[in-house]
Amino acid sequence: MARFDVYANPGRHMATTPYLLDVQSDLLDGLGSRMVIPLRSLEHFPSVKLSTRLTPIFTIKGEQFLLETPKMGAVAQGVLKSPVDSLAESQDQVVAALDFLFHGY
């Protein structure tokens, strides 16, 4: 598994949140779980103004998705199948969102 890989969301919210972003260090693959952030379709997101530092928007397969950083959580590693995309090129934005969540800057 690679940090910043995007996986299909197998959970019950897959219609509105079809993807999960893996943000866990590759050094911790042996834990059996991965920290992920939901990627929610902008089409299904309420018209609430959120900080783009905390919730940046990414394009995956031609559609826009909001990174719901405050809803980050752990999932069993086996839940994540083959990656469908990668946001490695956007890692600065993802890490900035995590820093803003944990440190406020």
pLDDT in tens, 13-25: 888 999 999 999 8
Task: Report percent pLDDT > 70 for the chain.
Answer: 95
Phi, psi of 45 (to 5 degrees): -100, 135
pLDDT in tens, 63-92: 999 999 999 999 999 999 999 999 999 999
pLDDT of residue 27: 82
Class of domain 5-103: mainly beta
Q: Which of 54, 65, 63, 62 is nearest to 97 (CA)?
A: 54
pLDDT of residue 18: 96
Q: Which of 13, 4, 27 is nearest to 71 (CA)?
A: 13
Mean pLDDT estimate for the chain: 91
